[in-house]
Amino acid sequence: MLFPWPDFLRVTLQCSAQALLIVITVNGLVGAILAFVGAVQLNKFGAGIYVADLVGIAVVREMAAVMTAIVMAGRTGASFAAELATMQSNEEVDALKVMGMQIGSWLVLPRLLALTLVQPLLYVFGCAAGLAGGLAVATGMMNLSRTAYLDRSALVLIPSHFVLGSIKSVCFGLLIGLTGCWQGLQAARTAAGVGEATTRAVVTSIVWVIVLDAVFALCANALGV
Amino acid sequence: METPSPLPLPSACHDLANLDPAIADHAPGGATALAPAVLEVRNLALRFGSHLVQEQVSFQVAARSIFAVIGMSGCGKSTLLRSLIGLLCPSAGQVLFAGVDYWAGTPAQRNQLRKGCGMLFQSAALWSSMTIAENINLPLRQLTALNPQQRQARIAEVLHWVGMDSCADVAPADLSGGMKKRAALARALAAAPPLLLLDEPSAGLDPINARRLDALILDIRDRTGAAVILVSHELPSLLAIANDGIFFDAESKRPIAHGSPRDMLAQSDNPTVHAFMRREILAASADHPAQVAATP
């Protein structure tokens, strides 16, 4: 079976290195916002140090995976849908079919593989950025010492949080990749069809990411994770 | 540049500019009346849901023939082509490649049969993320057992053949419309298929480039022995190179004429065919259902 290595490498680069800055920025700001909101409330009870618990657990278990997925849905999922829809309208997909190429292995698989492999790595960077954002607010606004914040974070962040977040990010990567490719290949063969496919890919991905995250939360709660 | 020919395609240099300009005189020589049918269509019906596109479509395409699919816009010519290459399942009828029913086969059998077809799409459909050489290399990798050196030789050969030697490493986006068509033709014939399907190859081209493409199609037929199915509106092209054909009627949704375009022009008494082949306006009315008026 032929595999489009150049296409795979191009897509991998597109959804990894080229997406890193925006993933770090968004997750860093989310960590900072969580810390700010938590600080205001927790300080009322003299429990400011627990902002490290709030930011650490929220970022690692939920927000890094979800926010990274939303960024990737808007960026890479949309790109997959637009590219495949354009190929569809230009008859490039038909040209592949006529040659007996399997569209699944030639067009969908490299994109799915790239996004599924890259998503957990982006999640790790998202976690680091979110925790750093929380740390910046905690030390800058609440006069907590960096050591106290980091010690508290190390205490509450157990491996199962990271495992859960990583599993989610893999599932989100698969979901976004599949949705983008599916919508692109189902697009009408018109310029408007490309736009509609892109919009549907982004909206569907984001909605299902949130639904899937809710399912994960229920399952994790039921399993005591 | 002379390159060895690893497949039964000619390797000789070919200068389109030196072709006999009297293309029309060259056309009828290709097909032979006794040649076996490369493709046979029996009672084909094409539908989009409940919308009938064409029905009762039957014809044969002989080896070495250039078969024209003619008709007014929207009559289902490109749809027929899509059903012939397996992109659209007909609602009834048979498509037989060398006697084997395409749509009755398993997906693997259909895949195998489809490998005998080279297709030039209306939009050229070159893969935009690849260079021209990569576009030609992909079908060679997929459809032939050539090694990398042989594939490179074949790429150089077919590019030389269509007069695009210097364009191997160029992206499709950097080519003109005519060059895209020629590059797509090179891709379609790279694996030496016995049947070439060309969807409006000269649409959008200036008369000189359209004529060059006609010459190239004739040359391909003569050198490879492939049968060619040509969907086109371009009357000069059709009259110059096609030696058999079918005329689709958009109203009755059935074929209304068979034979070479020249015969259709000279002999058809059907008003629609008559008007189409003479570029006349067909003015139908209740009193004069088939009145034709010459265009000014």
The domain spans of chain A are: 5-223
pLDDT at B291: 44
- In sequence order, the 6+-apart residues with CB closer than 8 A to the CB of B183 are B124, B126, B132, B135, B136, B159, B162, B164, B167, B172, B175
B158 vs B226: CA distance, rounded Å: 15
The verdict on pTM exceeding 0.90 is no
* Cα gap B177→B181, rounded to integer Å: 6
Of B217, B227, B229, give the one whose Cα is nearest residue B194: B227
For residue A102, what is the nearest residue in chain B, using CA coordinates? B111
Tokens representing A176 are: 């976004």
Neighbours of A105 (CB within 10 A): 13
Q: Is the Cβ pair A94, B121 closer than 8 Å?
A: yes
**Structure confidence at residue B270 (pLDDT):** 87
Residue B131 to residue B134: CA distance in whole angstroms: 5
Q: Under 8 Å CB-to-CB from A1, ≥6 apart: which residues? A: A102, A105
| pLDDT at res. B21 | 37
Chain A CB contacts of B139 below 8 Å: 99
Rounded average pLDDT per 10-residue block, chain B, 296 residues: 41 34 40 65 91 92 93 89 91 91 88 88 92 95 92 94 91 92 92 92 82 88 91 89 92 91 88 85 51 41
For B147-202, the DSSP string reads: -HHHHHHHHHHHHHHTT-GGGTT--GGGS-HHHHHHHHHHHHHTT--SEEEEESTT
Cα nearest neighbour of B84 on chain A = A98
Chain B residues closer than 8 Å to A7 by CB:
129
Q: Please list the ranges in chain A whose pLDDT falls under 50.
A: none
State residue B208's pLDDT score. Answer: 84
Please tell me the predicted confidence (pLDDT) of residue B290: 45
CB atoms within 10 A of CB B111: 16
What are the φ/ψ torsions at residue B130 (nearest 5 degrees)?
A: -120, 155
Residues of B in contact with A79 (CB under 8 A): none
Closest by Cβ to A95, choosing from B86, B115, B119? B119
Structural element, H or E, at residue B257: strand B255-258
> Most B CBs within 10 Å: which of A93, A99, A105, as the mutation test of the B interface?
A99
Of A6, A7, A90, the CB nearest to B125: A90
pLDDT of residue B206: 82
| Angle formed by the axes of helices A17-44 and A64-72, nearest 10° | 140
Dist. CA B50–CA B31, nearest whole Å: 38
Q: How far is CA A149 from CA A128, A194, B111, B256, in A?
A: 14, 48, 63, 85
